[in-house]
């Protein structure tokens, strides 16, 4: 089956700096890569996703890049704010039914 690895497990940045979280996947058939944000005590929520026919996608301060050849994708957050502090999960799917999640990255944005 698919194996998704996520790094780093924790990330601390100063407010206003950029944050980058990286994921690798093993199944070349995976074609959908969502990112979820889970604030403390709350449920995970989708923040951005990308499909395999696209190399990059942006939504305001967040962006995701995908390198199919290398089988890795990354989440980029620019101009970080304290409210960006949360746990972020990447995921991969090859049939939109089963999703394989990374182990999560705890992002701490220091004011």
Partner 1 sequence: DGGITQSPKYLFRKEGQNVTLSCEQNLNHDAMYWYRQDPGQGLRLIYYSQIVNDFQKGDIAEGYSVSREKKESFPLTVTSAQKNPTAFYLCASSIETGSYEQYFGPGTRLTVT
Residues that bind partner 1 (CB under 8 A): 1, 4, 6, 9, 32, 34, 36, 42-46, 49, 89, 91, 93, 96-104
Cβ distance to partner 1 smaller for residue 1 or 111: 1
CB of 2 or CB of 20, closer to partner 1 = 2
Closer residue to partner 1 (CB): 71 or 78: 71
CA gap 63, 78 in Å, rounded = 9
Burial class (CB in 10 A: 0-12, 13-18, 19+), 16: exposed
CB of 74 to partner 1, least distance (A): 17
């Amino acid at each position: 089956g698919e194996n998704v690895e996520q790094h780093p497990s924790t990330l601390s940045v100063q407010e206003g700096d950029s944050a980058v979280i990286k994921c690798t996947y093993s199944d070349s058939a995976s074609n959908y890569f969502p990112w979820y944000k889970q604030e403390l005590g709350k449920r995970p929520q989708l923040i951005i996703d990308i499909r395999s026919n696209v190399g990059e996608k942006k939504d305001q301060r967040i962006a995701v890049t995908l390198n199919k050849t290398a089988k890795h994708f990354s989440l980029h957050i620019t101009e970080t704010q304290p409210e960006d502090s949360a746990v972020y999960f990447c995921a991969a799917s090859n049939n939109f039914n089963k999703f394989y999640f990374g182990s999560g990255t705890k992002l701490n944005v220091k004011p």
